[in-house]
A and B are shown apart, each in its own frame.
Chain A
Amino acid sequence: MGIKIHIDSLLSDYTNNQRTAEVKGDTVSECLQHLAEQFPELIPFTKEGKLLVYQDFYLGVFVNGEIVYPKEMDKPVKNGDELSLILMVGGG
Protein backbone atom coordinates (compact mmCIF):
# COMPACT_ATOMS: atom_id res chain seq x y z
CA MET A 1 0.00 0.00 0.00
CA GLY A 2 1.54 3.26 -1.12
CA ILE A 3 0.64 6.89 -0.76
CA LYS A 4 -2.12 8.16 -3.01
CA ILE A 5 -2.52 11.74 -4.12
CA HIS A 6 -5.83 13.10 -5.39
CA ILE A 7 -5.47 15.78 -8.03
CA ASP A 8 -7.95 18.63 -8.43
CA SER A 9 -9.82 18.53 -11.74
CA LEU A 10 -8.44 22.01 -12.48
CA LEU A 11 -4.94 20.53 -12.37
CA SER A 12 -5.71 17.40 -14.36
CA ASP A 13 -4.77 19.17 -17.61
CA TYR A 14 -1.23 18.98 -16.30
CA THR A 15 -1.40 15.31 -15.28
CA ASN A 16 -2.66 13.65 -18.48
CA ASN A 17 -6.17 13.91 -17.05
CA GLN A 18 -5.18 11.63 -14.20
CA ARG A 19 -7.07 12.48 -11.04
CA THR A 20 -5.05 10.20 -8.77
CA ALA A 21 -1.44 9.11 -8.65
CA GLU A 22 0.81 7.02 -6.46
CA VAL A 23 3.68 8.93 -4.92
CA LYS A 24 6.68 8.03 -2.81
CA GLY A 25 8.30 9.95 -0.02
CA ASP A 26 8.74 10.21 3.72
CA THR A 27 7.37 13.75 3.91
CA VAL A 28 4.70 15.82 2.20
CA SER A 29 7.38 17.74 0.37
CA GLU A 30 9.00 14.58 -0.98
CA CYS A 31 5.66 13.25 -2.17
CA LEU A 32 4.91 16.47 -4.03
CA GLN A 33 8.35 16.39 -5.52
CA HIS A 34 7.74 12.85 -6.76
CA LEU A 35 4.44 13.95 -8.30
CA ALA A 36 6.14 16.78 -10.18
CA GLU A 37 8.72 14.31 -11.49
CA GLN A 38 5.96 12.06 -12.81
CA PHE A 39 4.12 14.92 -14.49
CA PRO A 40 6.56 17.41 -15.99
CA GLU A 41 3.63 19.51 -17.21
CA LEU A 42 3.22 20.59 -13.62
CA ILE A 43 6.35 22.65 -14.22
CA PRO A 44 4.31 25.89 -14.40
CA PHE A 45 3.56 25.23 -10.76
CA THR A 46 7.18 24.72 -9.79
CA LYS A 47 9.98 27.01 -8.81
CA GLU A 48 13.61 25.97 -8.68
CA GLY A 49 12.50 22.43 -9.40
CA LYS A 50 10.12 22.15 -6.45
CA LEU A 51 6.38 21.86 -6.63
CA LEU A 52 5.06 24.97 -4.98
CA VAL A 53 2.45 24.89 -2.34
CA TYR A 54 1.19 28.36 -1.52
CA GLN A 55 4.38 30.36 -1.22
CA ASP A 56 4.51 31.89 -4.65
CA PHE A 57 1.69 30.16 -6.35
CA TYR A 58 -1.73 28.97 -5.53
CA LEU A 59 -1.83 25.28 -4.73
CA GLY A 60 -3.24 23.83 -1.56
CA VAL A 61 -2.23 20.47 -0.11
CA PHE A 62 -4.12 18.32 2.34
CA VAL A 63 -3.14 15.09 4.09
CA ASN A 64 -6.02 12.78 4.94
CA GLY A 65 -8.39 15.71 4.43
CA GLU A 66 -6.54 18.17 6.68
CA ILE A 67 -4.71 21.22 5.46
CA VAL A 68 -0.91 21.34 5.53
CA TYR A 69 0.67 24.78 5.63
CA PRO A 70 3.91 25.70 3.85
CA LYS A 71 5.96 25.49 7.02
CA GLU A 72 4.61 21.98 7.58
CA MET A 73 5.89 20.50 4.33
CA ASP A 74 8.26 18.31 6.29
CA LYS A 75 5.31 16.61 7.93
CA PRO A 76 5.93 12.83 7.84
CA VAL A 77 3.64 10.66 5.78
CA LYS A 78 3.24 6.90 5.73
CA ASN A 79 1.83 4.20 3.52
CA GLY A 80 -1.93 4.44 3.36
CA ASP A 81 -2.01 8.22 3.72
CA GLU A 82 -3.96 10.12 1.11
CA LEU A 83 -2.89 13.53 -0.10
CA SER A 84 -4.97 16.02 -2.05
CA LEU A 85 -3.69 18.80 -4.23
CA ILE A 86 -6.11 21.55 -5.15
CA LEU A 87 -5.92 24.78 -7.04
CA MET A 88 -6.91 27.74 -4.92
CA VAL A 89 -9.13 30.05 -6.95
CA GLY A 90 -10.21 33.65 -6.61
CA GLY A 91 -12.81 34.28 -9.31
CA GLY A 92 -16.24 35.59 -8.56
Chain B
Amino acid sequence: MLTPEELERYERQILIEGFGEEGQEKLKQAKVFVAGAGGLGSPASIYLIAAGVGTMRIVDHDRVELSNLNRQVLHWDEDMGKTKIDSASDKLKRLNQNVKIEAIEETITEKNVSQLVAGFNLIVDAMDNLPTRYILNKAAIENNLPFFHGAVYGFEGRATTIIPGETACLKCLYHGVLPGEKFPVIGVTPAVIACIQATEVIKYIVGIGELLTNRLLIFDGLGMKFTEFKVKRDPDCEHCGHLITRG
Protein backbone atom coordinates (compact mmCIF):
# COMPACT_ATOMS: atom_id res chain seq x y z
CA MET B 1 0.00 0.00 0.00
CA LEU B 2 1.43 3.34 -1.03
CA THR B 3 1.61 6.05 1.60
CA PRO B 4 0.39 9.62 0.94
CA GLU B 5 4.04 10.70 0.78
CA GLU B 6 4.78 8.05 -1.84
CA LEU B 7 1.72 8.97 -3.87
CA GLU B 8 2.99 12.54 -4.01
CA ARG B 9 6.63 11.64 -4.63
CA TYR B 10 5.81 9.36 -7.56
CA GLU B 11 2.81 11.36 -8.81
CA ARG B 12 4.28 12.15 -12.23
CA GLN B 13 5.18 8.57 -13.13
CA ILE B 14 1.92 7.21 -11.73
CA LEU B 15 0.27 9.45 -14.34
CA ILE B 16 1.93 7.45 -17.15
CA GLU B 17 -0.64 5.34 -18.98
CA GLY B 18 -0.32 1.72 -17.96
CA PHE B 19 1.78 2.59 -14.92
CA GLY B 20 -0.61 3.84 -12.25
CA GLU B 21 -0.57 3.13 -8.53
CA GLU B 22 -0.48 -0.57 -9.33
CA GLY B 23 2.81 -0.18 -11.19
CA GLN B 24 4.24 1.89 -8.37
CA GLU B 25 3.26 -0.76 -5.86
CA LYS B 26 5.08 -3.36 -8.00
CA LEU B 27 8.21 -1.20 -7.90
CA LYS B 28 7.88 -0.88 -4.14
CA GLN B 29 7.72 -4.65 -3.74
CA ALA B 30 10.63 -5.29 -6.15
CA LYS B 31 14.03 -6.49 -5.00
CA VAL B 32 16.77 -5.48 -7.43
CA PHE B 33 20.36 -6.71 -7.43
CA VAL B 34 22.90 -4.27 -8.90
CA ALA B 35 26.34 -5.71 -9.63
CA GLY B 36 28.79 -2.84 -9.44
CA ALA B 37 28.70 0.72 -8.10
CA GLY B 38 30.83 2.26 -10.83
CA GLY B 39 30.16 3.96 -14.16
CA LEU B 40 27.03 1.96 -14.99
CA GLY B 41 25.97 1.11 -11.45
CA SER B 42 25.89 4.76 -10.36
CA PRO B 43 23.27 6.09 -12.78
CA ALA B 44 21.37 2.79 -12.89
CA SER B 45 20.95 2.73 -9.11
CA ILE B 46 20.18 6.46 -8.88
CA TYR B 47 17.30 6.21 -11.35
CA LEU B 48 15.96 2.96 -9.92
CA ILE B 49 15.98 4.34 -6.39
CA ALA B 50 14.46 7.62 -7.57
CA ALA B 51 11.71 5.59 -9.29
CA GLY B 52 10.91 3.83 -6.04
CA VAL B 53 12.35 0.34 -6.29
CA GLY B 54 11.65 -0.99 -2.80
CA THR B 55 14.80 -2.96 -2.10
CA MET B 56 18.20 -2.76 -3.76
CA ARG B 57 21.28 -4.81 -3.04
CA ILE B 58 24.39 -3.24 -4.54
CA VAL B 59 27.72 -5.05 -4.53
CA ASP B 60 31.20 -3.69 -5.20
CA HIS B 61 34.68 -4.32 -3.84
CA ASP B 62 36.53 -1.13 -4.80
CA ARG B 63 37.39 2.11 -3.10
CA VAL B 64 36.77 5.51 -4.66
CA GLU B 65 39.70 6.87 -6.67
CA LEU B 66 40.16 10.25 -8.35
CA SER B 67 40.09 8.66 -11.81
CA ASN B 68 36.58 7.30 -11.09
CA LEU B 69 35.01 10.70 -10.71
CA ASN B 70 34.60 11.53 -14.41
CA ARG B 71 31.81 8.99 -14.68
CA GLN B 72 30.90 7.30 -11.39
CA VAL B 73 28.45 9.97 -10.35
CA LEU B 74 27.53 8.41 -7.01
CA HIS B 75 31.03 9.23 -5.80
CA TRP B 76 32.23 12.75 -5.16
CA ASP B 77 35.47 14.49 -4.19
CA GLU B 78 34.68 14.06 -0.51
CA ASP B 79 34.43 10.27 -0.94
CA MET B 80 38.00 9.67 -2.06
CA GLY B 81 39.34 6.59 -0.31
CA LYS B 82 35.95 5.43 0.99
CA THR B 83 34.55 2.12 -0.14
CA LYS B 84 32.27 2.60 -3.12
CA ILE B 85 29.60 0.75 -1.22
CA ASP B 86 29.64 3.24 1.67
CA SER B 87 29.67 6.16 -0.73
CA ALA B 88 26.86 4.71 -2.85
CA SER B 89 24.74 3.69 0.10
CA ASP B 90 25.02 7.15 1.64
CA LYS B 91 23.91 8.96 -1.54
CA LEU B 92 21.11 6.56 -2.40
CA LYS B 93 19.64 6.73 1.11
CA ARG B 94 19.72 10.51 0.96
CA LEU B 95 18.01 10.43 -2.42
CA ASN B 96 15.07 8.34 -1.22
CA GLN B 97 14.54 7.36 2.38
CA ASN B 98 11.59 5.13 1.51
CA VAL B 99 13.73 2.42 0.00
CA LYS B 100 15.89 -0.27 1.54
CA ILE B 101 19.52 -0.29 0.42
CA GLU B 102 21.71 -3.30 1.13
CA ALA B 103 25.29 -2.40 0.33
CA ILE B 104 27.75 -5.28 0.29
CA GLU B 105 31.51 -4.94 -0.07
CA GLU B 106 32.37 -8.14 -1.84
CA THR B 107 34.04 -9.49 -4.96
CA ILE B 108 31.49 -11.45 -6.97
CA THR B 109 32.78 -14.96 -7.58
CA GLU B 110 31.41 -18.29 -8.79
CA LYS B 111 31.34 -19.39 -5.15
CA ASN B 112 29.33 -16.54 -3.66
CA VAL B 113 27.18 -15.37 -6.57
CA SER B 114 24.16 -17.61 -5.89
CA GLN B 115 24.09 -16.53 -2.26
CA LEU B 116 24.42 -12.87 -3.22
CA VAL B 117 21.51 -12.91 -5.69
CA ALA B 118 19.27 -15.20 -3.60
CA GLY B 119 15.91 -13.64 -2.87
CA PHE B 120 16.22 -10.95 -5.52
CA ASN B 121 13.97 -10.58 -8.57
CA LEU B 122 16.51 -9.57 -11.21
CA ILE B 123 20.14 -8.66 -11.88
CA VAL B 124 21.48 -5.40 -13.29
CA ASP B 125 24.82 -6.13 -14.96
CA ALA B 126 26.89 -3.03 -14.20
CA MET B 127 30.26 -4.74 -14.05
CA ASP B 128 33.49 -3.54 -15.63
CA ASN B 129 34.87 -6.87 -16.78
CA LEU B 130 33.69 -9.79 -18.87
CA PRO B 131 34.67 -12.70 -16.56
CA THR B 132 32.39 -11.42 -13.77
CA ARG B 133 29.66 -10.71 -16.29
CA TYR B 134 29.84 -14.37 -17.32
CA ILE B 135 29.57 -15.44 -13.67
CA LEU B 136 26.47 -13.26 -13.24
CA ASN B 137 24.95 -14.42 -16.54
CA LYS B 138 25.32 -18.04 -15.48
CA ALA B 139 23.79 -17.29 -12.08
CA ALA B 140 20.91 -15.50 -13.78
CA ILE B 141 20.25 -18.57 -15.96
CA GLU B 142 20.53 -21.00 -13.03
CA ASN B 143 18.27 -18.93 -10.79
CA ASN B 144 15.86 -17.90 -13.56
CA LEU B 145 16.48 -14.20 -12.98
CA PRO B 146 16.10 -11.60 -15.72
CA PHE B 147 19.48 -10.07 -16.55
CA PHE B 148 19.87 -6.49 -17.73
CA HIS B 149 23.17 -6.13 -19.56
CA GLY B 150 25.04 -2.95 -20.37
CA ALA B 151 28.65 -2.34 -21.39
CA VAL B 152 30.68 0.65 -22.55
CA TYR B 153 33.92 1.65 -24.24
CA GLY B 154 34.80 5.26 -25.06
CA PHE B 155 31.74 6.89 -26.59
CA GLU B 156 30.18 3.49 -27.43
CA GLY B 157 27.84 1.30 -25.49
CA ARG B 158 25.78 -1.89 -25.79
CA ALA B 159 22.66 -3.03 -24.01
CA THR B 160 20.36 -6.01 -24.11
CA THR B 161 17.78 -7.63 -21.85
CA ILE B 162 17.95 -11.33 -21.12
CA ILE B 163 15.09 -13.53 -19.94
CA PRO B 164 16.55 -16.96 -19.07
CA GLY B 165 15.26 -19.79 -21.23
CA GLU B 166 13.43 -17.42 -23.53
CA THR B 167 16.01 -15.12 -25.07
CA ALA B 168 19.64 -15.06 -26.09
CA CYS B 169 21.90 -14.78 -23.06
CA LEU B 170 25.22 -12.99 -22.70
CA LYS B 171 27.15 -16.18 -23.36
CA CYS B 172 25.20 -16.72 -26.60
CA LEU B 173 26.52 -13.34 -27.76
CA TYR B 174 30.00 -13.19 -26.27
CA HIS B 175 32.28 -16.10 -26.98
CA GLY B 176 35.62 -14.53 -26.47
CA VAL B 177 37.68 -12.82 -23.86
CA LEU B 178 38.47 -9.15 -23.57
CA PRO B 179 41.85 -7.71 -22.76
CA GLY B 180 42.03 -6.64 -19.14
CA GLU B 181 43.53 -3.28 -19.96
CA LYS B 182 42.24 0.03 -18.64
CA PHE B 183 39.48 1.01 -21.03
CA PRO B 184 38.73 4.56 -22.20
CA VAL B 185 35.37 6.02 -21.25
CA ILE B 186 33.61 9.34 -20.74
CA GLY B 187 30.83 9.63 -18.19
CA VAL B 188 27.99 10.33 -20.60
CA THR B 189 28.36 6.90 -22.21
CA PRO B 190 27.62 4.79 -19.11
CA ALA B 191 24.92 7.34 -18.24
CA VAL B 192 23.12 6.62 -21.52
CA ILE B 193 23.54 2.86 -21.26
CA ALA B 194 22.66 2.66 -17.56
CA CYS B 195 19.50 4.67 -18.18
CA ILE B 196 18.54 2.14 -20.85
CA GLN B 197 19.15 -0.65 -18.33
CA ALA B 198 17.11 1.14 -15.66
CA THR B 199 14.31 1.78 -18.16
CA GLU B 200 14.23 -1.92 -18.98
CA VAL B 201 14.15 -2.86 -15.30
CA ILE B 202 11.26 -0.51 -14.60
CA LYS B 203 9.32 -1.78 -17.64
CA TYR B 204 9.92 -5.38 -16.61
CA ILE B 205 8.78 -4.82 -13.02
CA VAL B 206 5.75 -2.73 -13.93
CA GLY B 207 4.89 -4.98 -16.88
CA ILE B 208 4.61 -2.36 -19.59
CA GLY B 209 6.21 -1.77 -22.97
CA GLU B 210 8.39 -4.00 -25.10
CA LEU B 211 11.63 -5.30 -23.63
CA LEU B 212 15.01 -5.13 -25.37
CA THR B 213 15.09 -8.91 -25.67
CA ASN B 214 16.72 -10.75 -28.54
CA ARG B 215 18.03 -7.36 -29.61
CA LEU B 216 21.46 -5.87 -29.08
CA LEU B 217 21.35 -2.08 -28.98
CA ILE B 218 24.54 -0.30 -30.02
CA PHE B 219 25.02 3.32 -28.97
CA ASP B 220 27.51 5.32 -31.01
CA GLY B 221 27.92 8.59 -29.15
CA LEU B 222 30.29 10.14 -31.66
CA GLY B 223 28.01 9.47 -34.61
CA MET B 224 25.00 9.94 -32.28
CA LYS B 225 23.32 6.84 -33.60
CA PHE B 226 21.54 3.90 -32.10
CA THR B 227 21.72 0.69 -34.11
CA GLU B 228 19.78 -2.42 -33.27
CA PHE B 229 20.78 -5.96 -34.19
CA LYS B 230 18.68 -9.08 -33.91
CA VAL B 231 20.20 -11.80 -31.76
CA LYS B 232 19.01 -15.31 -31.11
CA ARG B 233 19.54 -18.13 -28.67
CA ASP B 234 22.47 -20.37 -29.41
CA PRO B 235 21.25 -23.96 -28.87
CA ASP B 236 24.84 -24.91 -28.08
CA CYS B 237 25.36 -22.08 -25.57
CA GLU B 238 27.27 -23.40 -22.58
CA HIS B 239 25.17 -21.32 -20.19
CA CYS B 240 21.61 -21.54 -21.52
CA GLY B 241 21.71 -24.18 -24.27
CA HIS B 242 20.34 -26.84 -21.95
CA LEU B 243 17.15 -24.93 -21.30
CA ILE B 244 14.09 -25.72 -23.34
CA THR B 245 12.46 -22.64 -24.78
CA ARG B 246 9.34 -21.80 -22.89
CA GLY B 247 6.23 -20.18 -24.27
Contacts and interface: CB of A to CB of B under 8 A. Distances in A.
Interface of A: 8-10, 52, 54-60, 62, 65-67, 69-71, 84, 86-92
A65 B230 contact: yes
Interface stretch (B5-13, B94-102, B138-146, B151-159): B151-159
Nearest to B176: A58
Nearest to B41: A92
Interface in B149-206: 150-158, 168, 172-178, 183, 185, 190
A88 B178 contact: yes
Contacts, number: 98
A78 B150 CA distance: 33
B77 interface: no
A61 to B, nearest CB: 10
A92 B156 contact: no
B151 A9 contact: no
Contacts of B172: 69
A68 to B, nearest CB: 10
A14 to B, nearest CB: 14
A92 B173 contact: no
A67 B229 contact: yes
Contacts of B220: 9
Contacts of B41: 92
B36 A92 contact: yes
A8 B227 CA distance: 11
B228 A65 contact: yes
Contacts of B39: 91-92
B128 A58 contact: no
Given A57-B176, A92-B151, 8 more contacts: A9-B155, A55-B175, A58-B174, A65-B230, A69-B234, A90-B178, A91-B39, A91-B152
B83 to A, nearest CB: 18
